[in-house]
Amino acid sequence: MATAQRFEDLRVWQEARELNKVVYSTSKQRAFYRDIGLREQIRRAAVSVMSNIAEGFERGSRKEFVQLLNIAKGSNGEVRSQLYVALDQEYLTAKEFESLRAAAVLLSRRIATFIRYLEAQPSNRRVRRQ
């Protein structure tokens, strides 16, 4: 696996960014937008996924990176749960829901795979070079 020089190089961060963009655009739809609590909560959770991946990378140690990747994975689960609320409230069509849910599930798997990769590394040395 190639060594990333910036968190922006990480595939999991790029996919989290894409999911974040779709969450924001979807939550701008009229009925969804009016539900301020759900709209803001799902947006915060989506931003948290991206942010925790970036923060973990910038911290530098594998241990901290894995810890923050686990938090990102948890926030991604929160996004998925809130998608069900949006579906149940009819803010999303079944097709929109399934597309977003599938993207979130795939991202969760990729984060889990990345965590396993990092945990299999022999030391806790810095993840990146300064």
Q: How far is CA 66 from CA 24, 88, 91, 113, 117, in A?
A: 27, 34, 34, 11, 10
CB distance 56 to 68 below 8 Å: yes
Count of positions (residues) in the chain: 130
Listed in sequence order, the residues at least 6 apart from 82 whose beta carbon sits closer than 8 Å to its beta carbon are: 38, 41, 42, 45
Indicate which CATH number applies to the domain containing 95: 1.20.1440.60
Phi, psi torsion values for 28, nearest 5 degrees: -85, -10
68 is a domain residue: yes
Residue 19 has pLDDT above 80, yes or no: yes
Tally of structural domains, the chain: 1
4 is a domain residue: no
pLDDT (0 to 100) of residue 124: 62
44 is a domain residue: yes
Across the range 71-76, mean pLDDT stands at 98
pLDDT (0 to 100) of residue 3: 78
65 is a domain residue: yes
Across the range 16-29, mean pLDDT stands at 97
- Write out the residue range of the structural domain in which residue 63 sits: 11-119
- What does the mean pLDDT of the chain come to? 93
2 is a domain residue: no
70 is a domain residue: yes
